[in-house]
Each structure stands twice: as C-alpha cells, then as structure tokens.
Amino acid sequence: MTGEREAGRGASGSGDAAGSRDDSGEDEGRVRRLDRETVDRIAAGEVVTRPARVVGELVDNALDAGASRVEIAVDGDGTDRIRVADDGRGMARSDAARAVERHATSKLAPDGDPVGVESLGFRGEALAAIAEAARLELVTSPGDGVGTRVVVDGTAGDAEHTERSGGGQHVDVEPAGRARGTTVVVEDLFATRPARRESLAGADAEFARISSLVADYALANPSVAFSLDHDGSATLSTPGTDRTDALLGVYDRDTASRSTTVDASVDLGVDGEDAAGARDANPVSVDVAGALAYPSVTRATRDHVRVSVNGRPVRNDRLAGAIREGYGRLLPDGREPVAAVDVSLPPARVDPNVHPAKREVGLRDADAVADAVSSVVEDALTGADLRRAADVDTDLESALEPVGEGDGSRAGAFADADPIGVFRDLYVLVEADNELLVIDGHAAHERVNYERLARAFDGDPVPTAALDPPATLSLSTDEAAAARAHADDLAALGFETEAFGGGTRRLRTVPAPFGRTADADAFRDALATLSGSDGGRGAARDARDDLLADLACHPSLKRGDFDDLADGDLRDLLDRLGECDRPYACPHGRPTALAVDEATFAAGFGRDR
C-alpha cells in the first residue's frame, strides 16, 4: 500500500534507509527521496490533526497501491488503535524502510510535478508525520518472498532502536511473514501531544467522522471492497462489485432498491493540453458516474450528497449544488437527496492544492463541469420510474408500495389503468392490473400544468385566456421597468401586457393551462420572480422554476373539484400525467401516486389471493 504513497512531511531527510537487497527487482527502488525543489513546492497540510485524517491517508495509500480490498478497524475514538490492511502492491524491504522517511515518494518521476499527478497521494505524505505522533507498525510484502516489518515509535523518546529515518526517528526493520499487500497499525495516537488529544471531540463523534469518511471512499470506489470495524463490531461492509451494492453496504436495502445508477461522458466544449502543458485541440470531456437515490429517499441535511473527483472524496459546493440542481423540483421542500457522484477529469484540470488535507479541490472550467453533472443527474432521474413509496399504516402489516419502481417505464401503468372513483373529493382511485393506485389529483394536475408551462420556454405555446375587460395594473417605477425588460419572458408564460400611460399596464391574457385560468394577481408574482432572477449563474433558472411551480398551482384542480368530474375527465388527467417526463412528483416535490397490491388486501382479509 505505502509503496504507492509519498511518505512523510517536514524537512527533507538525510539518512540512508537500510534493508536487504534481495528483494524483487521489479519492486526495488519504487520509493525515493524528493529533491529540495520539489519539497518546497509541496503544499501545506503536514500535520495529522485527528484520527479520521490518519484513516484517510492510509486508505489513499491502499487505493494507490491497486488494492481490491481495504479493511479498517478502529478502537475507541481512533487514538487507541487504527489498523488498515489491503491486498495491493506491497513493498520491498528497502522501500519499506525508506517509506517512513520524510518526503519520500513512489509517486513522481525525477522531474515530476506534484500538481496534476494522477495518484491520490500527490503531495507531502503522512507516514512520517503519523509516526512522530504515535507508534506505527508497517508489515508489507510484494508477494514474492519474505515480507518486511517496520516499526517507528514516536512515543518512545530516545529508546534504543536499530535504524533512523530521514526525520531523525528510530526505525526497527525486520523480516516478517505476510501475503501480498500492506498492513499499517497506528497506536497511542497523540500520546505525546496532550493538547491535541484534548482538542478532539468525544469518542462517538470522532468515530462518526471516520465512518463518514470510509463511506465516502466506498461510494467513490465501488469496485473496491471496504470493511469497517469499531471495537470489534462490523459497522460497514461493501462487496466491491458495483455502485448499487456499495449503496446497500453504506445505507440499507430500502435505499439501494430505490435508486438508479448513472454513467455518462460529456464533452465540456473546451480544448485540452498535451503532456507538456501546451494547448491541444482535442476536446476535454468529463465522466460522471454514481448512484442516485430516488426523491422518495431524502435526508434533512446535505451530508448525504457525496462528491468525489477522480476517486477521491472531496468537498466542492459547486458540484454538490449541481447534483441537487439535477434533482430539481422532484425533492420535497426542505429535504436533501442521497447521492454519490464521482467526476473524472484529466489531472491537469484539477488543482489539489486548495486545501491542506486534500479534501477540497479546485476545478478548471468549474461551471462547465457543474453543468455537465447537473444535466447527467437530471437525465438519469427523468428516465427512471420515481413513483413514491409511503410508509402509511394500512393495518394489513404492509405499507403502500411503489409499482415497477426503477423499471424505466414512465407511462405504462397509467396507460393500462382505469379510474374507478374518487375518495374525499381529492384522491383518484385507479385500478391497474393487480394493484390499486391512489393518485393525488391536485398534485397530478400540478405536474401536468408545470410541464406544459415549462415547455413554453422551449418553443411550445402556452394556452392562454383573454381577460375581458383587460385588467389594469398600477405598477411602481421599478415594476414598470421590469415589465418592459422581461416582456418576452412574461409573454412566453402567457401574460400579454401593454403600456397604458405612466406606470400603468393593461393585462390582456393570462396562462390557462388545461383549460383553467390563472388569477390575474399571478402577474405580480411572475414579475417579482423574474425581477429577482439576476443573482448569478443558475439563479434565473431557479426563479423561473419557482414561478412555473406557483403558476401551475393556481389553475390546478383542488379538493372540491373532483366529484364533479366525469370518468372521461379522470381518464384525461391520467393520460396527461403519464405523458409527463416526471409524473411521480408534483413541482413542489410531493408524490403524485401511491400503490397497494392485491396481495396486501388478501393478507388483511385472510385470503390466499
């Protein structure tokens, strides 16, 4: 594992690493000392600040070593003991001894640049820093002979040891048995730094950081099997197969079953660079891959929107916002999605030096990358069947369940469905094969109206109704100016106005989607929303969507309207809902349809079927 990581921080070491020379020729010499110029270019972040940082550095090592399995075990808050074992490329003995020196690396060519390197460990590394703050034991083998055990005890003071690292620490090196791979055990972290220990949160909080970080890595690298044990109990396990199984290991079966995966490549429309950094006419593309839980699976905070860049979990508000933007109005108000998205870019387009712990990165063409992520997420969710499940107690030992969720068919269930009645003058009861669908009539009508209005911005005319006589509106100076500036957008929404002297305008038409006429007062809402839509990239779209959602609500059928509808009208509503791109949520994120199958009723009545 550490054969693929730079090892150490601080001043450059000077001593030669000892070790046998009978190691395999292929792995011999992978680790070398950095020259002073390169050391000086390596960014800050050389202090191990908490147990989760140790885990992150060691997991980076494992992934860079090509591990297919990474096992993490933590005692207490992580200061007692951390163990990370992998099955990646191990190290030869001399490399293992040198790996704990400050500023030693296997990552860069002699003239390499630490910025843009493709490995996860692209800067001054942590093995030496960890060893200065704890007792570190490293057991490694390239798999072709006797392995190596290296011990560096930063808690032992000037105790007698057999060897020194470049940072002045004592190092024990001896033969050891191990299969291919590397195991690192860190004990008594911060034992000689009581102030650092006292600054840590409680044991539960520190382990929660570790658990969240391991989950980030597992979701960013679904082809790698991860396991996490805490005080001897398994808390997380992923099989290393695919993204859905990784989601299952990190969350639960319900979340994994109500999710879809995405894997797409998008041309950013910018030129790339050749190996020397010169401009290259070849276009740059971004690969977007991940797992997206359906909007029926949400959380109250944004902590479950997980972003990684080239396999490294990072914090990037622009990318996280792009994921949420892709969900759009499918999310209920005040709720956040569960999603894990990895963005793959050429290393030259990523700047890792914006954060000392490498948890934040800068991106060239950040807006283009974010737009690509948003569009990929939106397309993936549009193509999925997002009918909601609802935990509604039916006294039949069952809840209302989705039908065909994730099967990719949007309108099929509605095409074969027959309305059979209305409950409480709002809920449309629909028979569909062996299931009973319950449609929220108002939410369904809102979705139909919203998508009709949205299409108006893509060239389709919005249905309008003429006001006779026209409504006369007295506007302030700012409102009148905004009405002139946004006249085209207002007309596209169905508001036709004309100046009528001073700050007065006459409103001749209003939107009338599905034959229902909007209130003339909606014009002021539209004007206010469009006037406030100049707050940066994406703000206009958000304001427009808010406006369309509000406009869709005004003319939509409400409780009290459904008892008067004929069966043909209900059939018409179902057909129009089935034609929508996103028929399973209203524009405010509430579900439009629930379903319960015949077996649920049969169980409740004690019947076989």
pLDDT for 16 equals: 37
**Mean pLDDT computed over 167-177:** 78
- Residue 471, number of CB atoms within 10 A of its CB: 15
Mean pLDDT over each residue of the chain, to the nearest integer: 75
Is residue 528 predicted with pLDDT exceeding 80?
A: no
- Residue 477, number of CB atoms within 10 A of its CB: 9
- The answer, as to whether pTM is greater than 0.85, is no
Per-residue burial over 483-512, b = 16 or more CB atoms within 10 Å of its CB, e = otherwise:
beebeebbebbbbbbeeeeebebbbbbbbb
Question: Which residue from 112, 220, 100, 107 is spatially nearest to 166, judged by alpha carbons?
Answer: 100
The highest-confidence range among 18-27, 194-203, 495-504, 541-550, by mean pLDDT, is 194-203
DSSP annotation string for 310-343: TTEEEB-HHHHHHHHHHHGGGSPTT-EE-EEEEE
pLDDT for 433 equals: 76
340-372 pLDDT, tens per residue?
999 999 888 887 655 555 566 778 888 899 999
Beta bridge partners of 81: 75, 187
Helix 203-220 to helix 243-250 angle (10° resolution) is 170
Is residue 404 predicted with pLDDT exceeding 60?
A: no
257-278 pLDDT, tens per residue?
889 999 999 998 766 655 455 5
pLDDT for 539 equals: 47
**Mean pLDDT computed over 159-184:** 71
**Mean pLDDT computed over 76-80:** 93
pLDDT for 108 equals: 45
Q: Rounded distance, CA 25 to CA 397, Å?
A: 65
Question: Which residue from 263, 177, 249, 184 is spatially nearest to 218, judged by alpha carbons?
Answer: 249
The mean-pLDDT minimum among 70-84, 430-444, 448-462, 586-600 falls in 448-462
Percentage above 70 pLDDT, the chain: 70
Residue 244 binned pLDDT confidence (cut-offs 50, 70, 90): very high
Residue 10 binned pLDDT confidence (cut-offs 50, 70, 90): very low
Is residue 557 predicted with pLDDT exceeding 70?
A: yes
